[in-house]
Amino acid sequence: MRAWQAWGMAVQINPSILSADFARLADEAKAVSGADWLHVDVMDNHFVPNLTLGVPVVESLARATDTPLDCHLMIEAPDRWAPQYVEAGAGSVTFHAEAAAAPVRLAREIRAKGARASMALKPATPIEPYEDLLPELDMLLVMTVEPGFGGQAFLDIMLPKIRRTRELISKHGLELWLQVDGGVSAATIERCAEAGADVFVAGSAVYGASDPDEAVRALRAQAESATAAASWACDH
């Protein structure tokens, strides 16, 4: 067992159903049975300029698959709405730092209801002001595109931010997952892993493949290989 596996870190691949066929969501969920989570993008056409899924669809999807749901709320007033997604069946709920009025209270409420609490940062939002909040979270999401639309090109300028976030996680000795979302593909996942990410959201790279489940396996293998050689992982 490699050192980075021994201390509890494991690469996770979360296909984004934003890139799936919305008319066949149950089938699309089954097409990625090897995934760790299904990433569900919730957009309200206010916080981001797009409108996608809501609580009723999450409820239906939770009944249709055994894969846990990772709900990313790109919405206004997550303090009001996030707990409903836990009640709908989400195993992890991510709110945006830029939208939450009381992020610590919200994270604690999500956890109290039985889900993992996660906070997301837009590309222009620095991690440093939120260092003291990290112990309240189960996952931190660094957006590697501007939120709101799938299929965008990966922003390489986010790699230093991923590294800084991993350094803060290590500094405090936290078992905090570090997720990246946006433009993650075979061409970019190794750089993300080397920088410190361990949870990878992939949309078109998975659902645009002829065999989505094989795409999940291939991405996992790439990320595991890059992590094994990464300096941050070798330090543990």
CA distance 131 to 168: 7
Give the chain's length: 236
Q: CA torsion 172→139→145→149, rounded to 10°?
A: -170
Instruction: Check the annotation: does 150 bind a ligand.
Output: yes
Helix (H, G, I), strand (E, B) or coil at 164: helix
Instruction: Check the annotation: does 151 bind a ligand.
Output: yes
Instruction: Check the annotation: does 231 bind a ligand.
Output: no
Active-site entry in 44, 70, 138, 181: 181
Q: Provide the CA 127 distance to its chain's centre, in angstroms.
A: 16
> How many other C-beta atoms are found inside a 10 Å radius of the C-beta of residue 89?
18
Active-site entry in 41, 44, 70, 138: 41
Instruction: Check the annotation: does 36 bind a ligand.
Output: no
Residue 41 among the catalytic residues: yes
Instruction: Check the annotation: does 172 bind a ligand.
Output: no
Instruction: Check the annotation: does 236 bind a ligand.
Output: no
Instruction: Check the annotation: does 156 bind a ligand.
Output: no
Would you state the structure tokens that stand for residue 64, as one six-digit string?
């249709």
- Give the annotated binding-site residues for a divalent metal cation: 39, 41, 72, 181
- Give the annotated binding-site residues: 16, 39, 41, 72, 148-151, 181-183, 203-204
- Give the annotated binding-site residues for substrate: 16, 72, 148-151, 181-183, 203-204
- Catalytic residue numbers read 41, 181
